[in-house]
Structure 1
């Protein structure tokens, strides 16, 4: 596979899954001590990656859970943030300035802070009350967040079968390798067909809305300098569909949760107008060893793996490095 180091990939994912005992111990302690609300705080991609777990909590729990943009949380505050709050942060490098400031802000309010990162000697790792470390450069953070939120909901009686899920989840490193292998020809074909496409329209919903936003902004825009529009499947009808033309590239992220009919409806309409609709559907991937009832939870992980293959092939056909930046962390902001 193009630019895919299987051993490193497995090592990174496995390092996150191996945090299960520590995550469960932490969650049990927090639940036993008692807290009133949970903040999932990030910036850019790490903010978008919190959305599936806020979404999961809204669907299944009475616990107030809010995903928050780090910089906005510091600027605007939150009336619910205080001594009986828990705030969770993620950062690959551990150096994201907005997140570091938000950690300081949350701690000043008395909140208990948790950090997931791969860099022990980093501002994020040093700043939080509890840090849980993975191999360097481990991405995404869905493994840790799934285990954290799953255990939390289970302790509250709001996730039946968590132990079974977590046991099955131990196999996810190898499962995702097989996902990447299956996605490789699809990704290559998409990239070849869209070598010169300079505008993409992205649609998603449910626990894939965060990844839709992330892939649009953090990958296609930031890393490939492509123009995009991103819209939630349920909101597609309310204006954004007017941008479609016969040759508009439409990328749809389709999962298996209760939002699937919303995205099906958007796909049906998009295909009536555009001749260039690509659907990345988690149902196309077997996920051996994962029970049918748990498959919807893994949608962000599955399609993050698929879209990483797409990114690598876009980098190849467009001769545009994914590491190239004009402004981000190059110019003062």
Structure 2
């Protein structure tokens, strides 16, 4: 279905009718699409008492499918282009076990848009609201499902409110941060190596910023680090010459990021802080704000990579291997 036809109540009705009580939720994709699903896996793991969750790269899911995968499983599969071979294979593996398979794709003619799945075809334009993109679509489905399965669940209204508010918050934050991103790129676009850190539900955004925005799209050498793990090895390379980008969350894991910042202020010199507390997230309820750092930081990574592209003149779409050679 097109995202304009999507109705969360109807979909959860269908999930419960076809598969009954959901016990396991799996999030399966590759690269940027996998990154889009991480915060939802984190959400289930932290908030649901009736469901277990796992976040698994597509080929790994195909080769070593979870033992619990089956009738009482919900599987989210995402592929932007819709034809990534291992992701289509993963969707088929899940489908054949009787799991309820939701596929996301931008391409209505793709294999992931096959009617045998419960496919959602989303738009991906500059004016597409966050609530119509995979991250918030997944939040909406899971929020409704947990609400129905767990009478004691307390985040239902707060999550709905956050999903409604986050697009406006992000658009203002991007506008307010644009000049800061330009200044960063002027200073550091030619840096030989950088580290990117974040924590909690937004951890995958440092992962995505590194492997997709910079390694894939700019051919830049970089490394992603969970802020909590910074002090268990990576901080030993900190000095005045190494560059860091620290994405500081608002919510329960903020103290992890603050500890990393204090260390950088004392021992480092080159670091960029993208702070969610300066981006408008205070209007989202404290009990669920953790989950909205992820879409915010994704859009910040897009802003920064575009600023870097403008300096390097390396087109974001240029590839050396992906879709060019056999691999």
For the criterion TM > 0.5, the same-fold answer is yes
Aligned counterpart, 1:152? 145
When structure 1 is superposed on structure 2, of 63-72 and 170-179 the one drifting more is 170-179
1:189 pairs with 2:183: yes
Q: Secondary structure at the match of 1:170?
A: helix
> Could you say if the C-alpha distance between residues 161 and 57 of structure 1 is closer, same or farther in structure 2, counting changes exceeding 3 Å?
closer
1:163 is displaced (CA, Å) by 3.3
Aligned counterpart, 1:46? 33
Structure 1 distance, partners of 2:281, 2:47, is 24
Q: Secondary structure at the match of 1:83?
A: coil
Question: What do the CA deviations read for 1:179-232 (whole angstroms, capped 9, x no partner)?
Answer: 221111111111111121121111111011011111111111111111111111
Question: What do the CA deviations read for 1:253-289 (whole angstroms, capped 9, x no partner)?
Answer: 1111211111211221122221011111111112586
Structure 2 distance, partners of 1:153, 1:294, is 14
Aligned counterpart, 1:7? none
Match of 2:106 among 115, 118, 122: 118
User: Given that residues 202 and 216 in structure 1 are in contact (C-alpha distance below 8 angstroms), is that contact kept between their aligned partners in structure 2?
Assistant: yes
- What is the aligned length? 317
When structure 1 is superposed on structure 2, of 200-209 and 103-112 the one drifting more is 103-112
1:69 pairs with 2:57: yes
Q: Secondary structure at the match of 1:234?
A: coil
1:159 is displaced (CA, Å) by 4.0
1:220 pairs with 2:214: yes
Structure 1 distance, partners of 2:43, 2:212, is 23
User: Given that residues 175 and 288 in structure 1 are in contact (C-alpha distance below 8 angstroms), is that contact kept between their aligned partners in structure 2?
Assistant: no
Question: What do the CA deviations read for 1:103-122 (whole angstroms, capped 9, x no partner)?
Answer: 11111222221112222221
User: Given that residues 202 and 293 in structure 2 are in contact (C-alpha distance below 8 angstroms), is that contact kept between their aligned partners in structure 1?
Assistant: yes
Structure 2 distance, partners of 1:277, 1:158, is 43
**TM-score where L is the length of structure 1:** 0.88
1:127 is displaced (CA, Å) by 6.2
Aligned counterpart, 1:9? none
Q: Over aligned residues, Cα RMSD in angstroms?
A: 2.2
Q: Can you give the 5+ residue segments of structure 2 that lack an aligned partner in the other structure?
A: none
> Could you say if the C-alpha distance between residues 293 and 50 of structure 1 is closer, same or farther in structure 2, counting changes exceeding 3 Å?
same
Aligned counterpart, 1:180? 174
Aligned counterpart, 1:105? 93
Q: Secondary structure at the match of 1:329?
A: coil
Q: Can you give the 5+ residue segments of structure 1 that lack an aligned partner in the other structure?
A: 1-14
Structure 2 distance, partners of 1:94, 1:67, is 19
Question: What do the CA deviations read for 1:57-81 (whole angstroms, capped 9, x no partner)?
Answer: 1112121111111100111221111
Structure 2 distance, partners of 1:277, 1:314, is 15
